[in-house]
Amino acid sequence: MSAAAAPKGTGTLTAPAGARHARIWGVGGYRPERVVPNSEIVDVIDSSDEWIQERSGIKSRRWAGPHETVVTMSVAAARDAVASAGIQLDQVEAVIVSTVSHPYQTPAAAPIVADALGLRCVAFDISAACAGYCHGISLANDMVRGGSAGFVLVIGVEKLSDFTDPTDRSTAFIFADGAGAAVVGPSDTPGIGPTIWGSDGSQWETIKQNESWLEVRDEGLDFPSIGMQGQSVFRWAVWGMAPVAQRAIDAAGITAADLDAFLPHQANMRIIDAMVKQLKLPADIPVARDIVETANTSAASIPLATERMLREGEIPHGGLALQIGFGAGLVYAAQVVVLP
């Protein structure tokens, strides 16, 4: 006999219960095979190796070939992150992919990536451009602590070469391809500090797909590329992002002196240098400068830099790292994390 139903209006739910804390357990990366030095692109944009290095810090970048897609690069980075986390793939309960260069309007890349990994778990994309990885880490942290997933794969991936006009002087030398991933899961101690995030949509036109899909269709335009008003974005980043990073440090209950690494989005070496100065970081803190050989891979830039610096022993496992992403939207997100 079934139990009598509760009177209408008095029913209660079982609330989800998650882990007390979450942390990043492992990171992974995938860098496309083809290395493209400045010398290969300067003629078309009437530029020079010296100008590009002086203005951005970039010496070379990776461009993916036809066989290296948003999905295949994500899968490679995800496998690397899962191996580094020391878990089995079937322990992953959610896949979050941050990208602006998946070439299908729908469906999202994440379910396809999950399928390629042999998973049938919750899988969805987020669109937060160069801040997408830090958004993903924040979401994964909340999911693990909120009880909606155990281990969560966060992937930042871009094949921006598909959406870059090689003749556009303001973007052709900056944008590049790659994938980075992290595994976030339950922890006994806090591993992901409070995220400071936000947006300023009034500046949405400063980095954007040049024409909407409707304009492309209705006006018979060519495949659209992503354009950028470099100086406007540069000013916003230089003056606006250090205070955001400082708030993330404060919210984590630490000071800059406690940091073991600074992992900013790799947009421009001059922006990175300006943030280091404004934050008054101690001189001996390792700073991600992956931009030299990787250029700007948007959502992939922070996990790619993290993976490389950990692998090369530049930053300590278990150390505290400040990471901050910022870009199209305009949007931003920053948090202090314990390195895996």
Chain positions contacting ligand UT7, by CB under 6 A: 45, 47, 51, 55-56, 130, 169-170, 173-174, 207, 230-231, 233-234, 237, 267-268, 271, 296, 327
Under 8 Å between Cβ of 327 and 171: no
DSSP reduced 3-state for 37: strand
Catalytic annotation, pick one of 38, 102, 265, 268: 265
* N-term to C-term CA, the chain: 52
> Which residue, 167, 32, 24, is CA-closest to 85?
24
Alpha carbon distance 118, 165 (integer Å)? 35
Name the closest residue to ligand UT7 (Cβ). 230
**CA-based nearest residue to 56, from 245, 294, 320:** 294
Residue 121 among the catalytic residues: no
Nearer to ligand UT7 by C-beta: 60 or 296?
Answer: 296
Number of residues that make up the chain: 340
The closest alpha carbon to 122, from 99, 145, 153, belongs to 153
* Closest approach of ligand UT7 to the CB of residue 173, in Å: 6
Question: For residues 187 and 206, which CB has a smaller minimum distance to ligand UT7 in the complex?
Answer: 206
Q: Residue 306 CB, nearest distance to ligand UT7 (Å)?
A: 17
Q: Is 209 left (phi over 0), alpha (psi -120 to 50) or beta?
A: beta
Determine contact, residues 14/293, Cβ cutoff 8 Å.
Answer: no
The partner residues of 266 in beta bridges, in order of sequence, read none
Query: Quick check: is 296 catalytic?
Result: yes
Please say which residue, 150 or 264, places its beta carbon nearer to ligand UT7.
Answer: 264
**130, 134, 135, 141: which one is catalytic?**
130
Distance from chain centroid for Cα 196: 15
Question: Active-site residues: which are they?
Answer: 130, 265, 296
